[in-house]
Amino acid sequence: MILRNTLGVIIGLVAAMGIITFGISLNQNWIEYDYSKFPYEHWNRVIRYAAKTPKVRDEFFIALLFSCGIGAIFGGLITAAIVKTAKKAYATLVGFLLFLIAYLDVIFTPHHPTWYEISILPVLFFFSWLGGLLTDLVTKKIRLPKKQDSQQA
């Protein structure tokens, strides 16, 4: 059970990071170098380049925040689908770990706008919890009709 929960959290984190990476790689104007497949290699350069002009900065960080939310939902969904119990708790753990990664990013790489630094916490926690809640609701709805069918028979 511990191994299953650990794997669920790791797989959820990998899925979330994959979605976030895809989200910030959509616009080639945000990354100044040719190799845009894995932008975390040169993350300082990406952030510094994205913060050059207000228009590019706002577009980049809105896309980053949006992709963090979508990634947190899917990371929470995947984690909650894998773990057996405490689905919302493990999904929220994925949001917390994503927040730690984002917080370290804010600390070690300057040039983040203040609105991004403030809004990243509620976005990651809420959307990862929402992913766990959706999975929990779907699994309860699927199990409930099966129990009712067996009671009628």
pLDDT at 135 over 80: yes
Helices (H) and strands (E) in the chain, counts: 5, 0
Res 153: pLDDT: 55
Interval 30-84: pLDDT, tens? 766 655 556 666 777 777 777 777 888 888 889 889 999 999 999 999 999 999 8
As for how many domains the chain has, the answer is 1
Higher pLDDT, 15 or 34: 15
> Residue 30: which domain range?
2-152
The token pair that represents 21 in the structure block: 């990476």
What does 66-98 look like in DSSP terms, one character per residue? HHHHHHHHHHHHHHHHH-SS-HHHHHHHHHHHH
Q: At 121, which amino acid appears?
A: L
Res 136: pLDDT: 84
Res 149: pLDDT: 60
Residues in the chain: 153
Task: Taking residues 3-23, report their average pLDDT.
Answer: 92
Task: Taking residues 101-108, report their average pLDDT.
Answer: 88
% of the chain beyond a pLDDT of 70: 86
Task: Taking residues 4-29, report their average pLDDT.
Answer: 89
pLDDT at 113 over 90: no
Res 82: pLDDT: 93
